[in-house]
Amino acid sequence: MSKRLVAIMVLGALVLLAQGKKLPRPGWNLFSKQQDIQLGKEAAAQMEQQLALVDNRELTDYVNRIGQRLVRDGQLEEYPYFFKVVQEDSINAFAFPGGPMYVHTGLMRAAENEAQLAGVLAHELSHVVLRHGTAQVSKAQGFQILAMIGGAALGGGGSMTGALAQLGIGVGLNSALMKYSRNAERDADLLGMHTMARAGYNPLEMARFFEKLEAESGKQNKLVAAFFSSHPSPGSRVKAVEQEIPYLPRSDYGRTEGDLNGMKQTIGRLPAPAKRPQPGAGGGQAGPPPQTDQRPQIQLSGRMRQFQGGGVRFDYPDGWERVGTDQNGVTLAPRGGVVQGQGGSYSLGYGIIASAVAAEGRLNLSRQTQQLLQSLAQNNPGGRVEGRSERITIDRSNALISRMSADSPYRGARESIVVITVDRREQMYYFIFVSPDYDYKRFEPVYQQVTQTIRFQ
């Protein structure tokens, strides 16, 4: 054997080893990690109104011990994970972006051992860490989603789920957030295997369990249909695990967190759950943005205070308050500047929105600005872009100032919207200033003052 051949073979082996070890990572996503967390929190709260949650410490503690072990020993990225048990016969579990997870009692009963149950949890946790839900929504909706989630919308809902509902995306089990592609399934399986092995669960059990359930679903077993409609099979899972075995960390697979058979008996003794509406219908639809006949008198004291957060600081009028729950950006408005609607939705009549979005690759400021403007115009009643964007400089960074108009939440009035977008390389920061047309002359100098104080950290 020539030296060269040996070198090629060694190289080949190294490449193979590297490929096997390479774990999937989160892909392109228009949502920030904080927005995943916020969305999941809201979706979970909404969903729980329809779920028969199990109020039994023995069962919930057991599932939490398994889940936390997978997170901790599996070295998964930090999220505010929690695990709740749902009294429901179908063999299913599901997780929302940012970590909330729900495990059906039917799944616990169907699992032959703890590793199988842990396998489904590890698979779901992998979807959370890889951010598959919001990645898919990002791809499907493109930049339309930006303005909706970024500013919690001028004239839109004040919540993430409200913003998504305006795009026709609910948070139910059939939502685009929870239906995964085959590629996502393959990645969730792969990360799930490694997570299991690190946490001391045999990954083969995950594959065996999935294949057993798949066989059941082929026999039209309705109890497993829901899982496979949102998690399509990526092909032979047992084979995939067997191929991955050389790259999995070795560990002892014996330890359990409790007695699964005992848990099954406890499940059998649970009282019947109270009747609830059928899950799966999805989130509530947001109506048209709220409007009012009142026109508030907003006073300006001339005093300013400083906002600091998200890598930026700027001055804003004293007495204005934070609106909404968007953790990535901030909306600041005077009292009376926000028109409340039903179900937590609101429209901004006066105020400032500051937020940032990740660039897709290298930031193209004018292109990404146009996408933001189009999205704002589409998602605000009567919205349109006025004239061309002009180049300015904000804290020594290239920026664009653009003007728009839309229907004001103060009925019968139009509003002026000034949008400033700033090129910060990996991110585009944007600042949106809103006021009704009839009051714009009074607010313009204030908004200019705010703009001059913007500093990045």
Site string for Zn ion, 208-247 (x = CB under 5 A): -----------------------x----------------
Burial of 159 (0-12, 13-18, 19+ CB in 10 A): buried
Site string for Zn ion, 6-35 (x = CB under 5 A): ------------------------------
Site string for Zn ion, 162-181 (x = CB under 5 A): ------------------x-
User: Min. distance of Cβ 153 from Zn ion in angstroms?
Assistant: 30
| Single-letter amino acid, residue 351 | G
120 three-state secondary structure: helix
Q: How does strand 414-424 pair with strand 397-407?
A: antiparallel
- Which residue in the block uniquely carries the two structure tokens 């944007």? 430
Q: Which residue number places its CB atom closest to Zn ion?
A: 231
User: Min. distance of Cβ 110 from Zn ion in angstroms?
Assistant: 16
| Single-letter amino acid, residue 235 | G
Residues in the chain: 457
Instruction: State how far the Cα of 296 lies from the Cα of 121, in Å rounded to an integer.
Output: 51
The residue among 133 and 282 lying less far from Zn ion, judged by its C-beta, is 133
The residue among 84 and 123 lying less far from Zn ion, judged by its C-beta, is 123
User: Min. distance of Cβ 230 from Zn ion in angstroms?
Assistant: 7
Residue 129 touching Zn ion (CB under 5 A): no
Nearest CA among 344, 348, 337 for reference residue 380: 348
Instruction: State how far the Cα of 64 lies from the Cα of 54, in Å rounded to an integer.
Output: 13
The residue among 113 and 233 lying less far from Zn ion, judged by its C-beta, is 233
User: Min. distance of Cβ 124 from Zn ion in angstroms?
Assistant: 7
The residue among 42 and 189 lying less far from Zn ion, judged by its C-beta, is 189
User: Min. distance of Cβ 40 from Zn ion in angstroms?
Assistant: 16
CB atoms within 10 A of CB 186: 17
Burial of 311 (0-12, 13-18, 19+ CB in 10 A): exposed
Residue 188 touching Zn ion (CB under 5 A): yes
Q: How does strand 321-323 pair with strand 330-333?
A: antiparallel
Q: Choose the binding region for Zn ion from 101-109, 149-157, 184-192, 428-436 (rule: CB under 5 A).
A: 184-192
Binding site for Zn ion (CB under 5 A): 180, 185, 188, 231
